[in-house]
Amino acid sequence: MTKAYLIHGTSTRDDDWFPWLEEAVAPAIKLDRIWLPEPFNPSPIEWAQAIDQQVPAEDGVVLVAHSLGCISALRFIERHRINDARLLLVGAFDQPLPTYPQLDRFVTPPLQYDQVTPKVSQATVIAAQDDPIAPFTGSAQVARTLNAKFIGQATGGHFLSSDGFTTFPLAAKELQRIAK
């Protein structure tokens, strides 16, 4: 059995497609939906501490991340000595979001990709062209910088339950692929 960790950004650990994904990939993958403090008023320091307490900084770590969880997952890899990290990033961004300036603290200073990309052995980034939160072009740039597989969809919004995502078969398929 493979262990994976879900770092989510715009909702609580039991919202959206997260519980469904945990069940969909079991028993081959045990997905741990981690707890993050104050998801609607996040602090990068508190989130980093929470992630460090719940996710082992070990070779072969598998991270599934959504929205603000994506930059948080990338920061986790940046600050730890890890090899062979595997990533599934949904609605990723690494630049300030004009409509969410309160999240600027997560993306400044800029991510040091030279401390991240060599540690990532497999990655997939999923984005939607109609995402109102994380710009499609930003997600595509994250994928290019990571040398990741990029799956761009015309629709999907920010992949929230309000966008119709209480299940997410594409995420399950990609998680199973990268976790091998």
Which is more confidently placed, 1 or 135? Answer: 135
Which sign, positive or negative, has the C-alpha torsion 165, 166, 169, 173? positive
Question: Quick one: fold of 2-178?
Answer: Rossmann fold (3.40.50)
Tell me the pTM.
0.96
The pLDDT of residue 14 is 72
Please, what is the average pLDDT of the chain?
95
What would the pLDDT profile of 103-129 be if each residue is shown by its tens digit?
Answer: 999 999 999 999 999 999 999 999 999
**pLDDT above 70 covers what percent of the chain?**
98
Output the CA–CA distances (angstroms, integers) from residue 151 to 4, 71, 90, 111, 120, in the order listed: 20, 18, 10, 22, 18
**pLDDT reading at 133 higher than 70:** yes
CA 67 to chain CA centroid, Å, is 6
What would the pLDDT profile of 1-48 be if each residue is shown by its tens digit?
Answer: 899 999 987 666 677 899 999 999 999 999 999 999 988 899 999 999
What would the pLDDT profile of 67-93 be if each residue is shown by its tens digit?
Answer: 999 999 999 999 999 999 999 999 999
Bridging pattern class, strands 85-90 and 120-128? parallel
**Through-space distance between the first and last CA atoms of the chain, rounded to whole angstroms:** 10
